[in-house]
Copies of this chain bind each other. A is one copy, B any other.
């Protein structure tokens, strides 16, 4: 397997943490997003969407999208369990990873990509140009605040995001908290459960991946 990564980007970091938790050592190729390597012909042949991560299997098959890659890694190396040991646990962790992705990461991405000076004309990832929409940056910040409240509520009733075990949902949510710092949004004051949880998941060795 070969893993196309970018050390500074949030999306591939989700896979790096997932692999680190499992003790899987990925044969990694760094893609230089800052210089636009993802738009070059070589990378575009691997992923026409021009984003990392990409996992290339030994038979040449190309897998993109974080959840698809993580589920594949869970299948080839089930221990330690990061998605779930039962159908219900798996449904719960995929559900929460999806909520964090759609309501949290997407909001933070809207806020970042629609305001960063260096991303004019690139408000969406991928090869097509899209102008920034300042109102969308603002909406993203509002949506992110709402979602942090949602997470605080969930973590007031559960040790981890998807319930009683550390899972892909925690990895996604930790990456969300760290990515939010890019737009200068931190865990809200008074969100004590979110704070307790973040401290615990960040202390895991995999967090530096």
Residues of A within 8 A of B (CB): 48-49, 57, 59, 61, 63-65, 67-69, 71-72, 75-76, 87-88, 90-92, 94-95, 98-99, 103, 123-124, 126, 128, 130, 133, 135-136, 139, 142-143, 146, 150, 153
Contact = CB atoms under 8 A, between A and B. Distances in A.
A128 to B, nearest CB: 5
Contact of A98 (B57, B67, B136, B150): B67
Identical copies of this chain, number: 2
B57 A88 contact: yes
A90 B63 contact: no
A124 B107 CA distance: 11
Given A57-B88, A72-B88, A64 B135 contact: no
Contact of A72 (B90, B124, B126, B150): B90
Contacts of A146: 128
A130 B135 contact: no
A68 B59 CA distance: 28
